[in-house]
């Protein structure tokens, strides 16, 4: 029976570690507090940890997104006040050489 309790404790610790890692990925817990979070999570039952794990997997999946391609054509940033006014009023700007852009 002693080995059975030890195995259950190891399984509980492994499940708590998985939940702690998901909490870190979801930015709920800081990575430096991982061991403290695992110790706190070991108090909960296996069913509660499984529920937390499934909920956190959904949260992490929503947080991670596929990188989208950047726009093919991007508007230049207008630093000069004169050029920004010209763009606003007349719809065009001039570059450093004075040519329309």
**Total residues belonging to the chain:** 101
Please state, in angstroms and rounded to a whole number, the distance separating the CA atoms of residues 35 and 13: 11
Domain range for 31 is 2-63
> Is residue 20 a part of any domain in this protein?
yes
> Is residue 87 a part of any domain in this protein?
no
Predicted pLDDT at 75: 56
Q: Tens digit of pLDDT for each residue in 60-80?
A: 888 777 666 665 555 555 567
Predicted pLDDT at 88: 79
> Is residue 94 a part of any domain in this protein?
no
In this prediction, residues 50-56 reach a mean pLDDT of 92
Decide: 46 and 15 in contact? Cβ < 8 Å.
yes
Q: Which of 26-35, 39-48, 86-95 has the lowest mean pLDDT?
A: 86-95
> Is residue 69 a part of any domain in this protein?
no
> Is residue 13 a part of any domain in this protein?
yes
> Is residue 80 a part of any domain in this protein?
no
* Number of structural domains found in the chain: 1
Locate all alpha helices (DSSP H) within the chain, ordered by sequence: 2-25, 34-41, 46-63, 81-90
> Is residue 8 a part of any domain in this protein?
yes
Whose tokens are 């940890």? That residue is 49
């Amino acid at each position: 029976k002693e080995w059975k309790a030890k195995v259950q404790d190891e399984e509980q610790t492994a499940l708590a570690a998985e939940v702690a890692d998901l909490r870190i990925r979801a930015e709920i817990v800081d990575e430096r507090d991982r061991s403290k979070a695992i110790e706190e999570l070991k108090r909960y039952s296996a069913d509660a940890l499984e529920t937390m794990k499934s909920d956190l997997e959904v949260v992490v999946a929503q947080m991670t997104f596929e990188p989208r391609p950047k726009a093919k054509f991007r508007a230049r940033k207008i630093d000069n006040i004169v050029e920004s006014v010209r763009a606003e009023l007349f719809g065009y700007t001039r570059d450093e050489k004075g040519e329309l852009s």
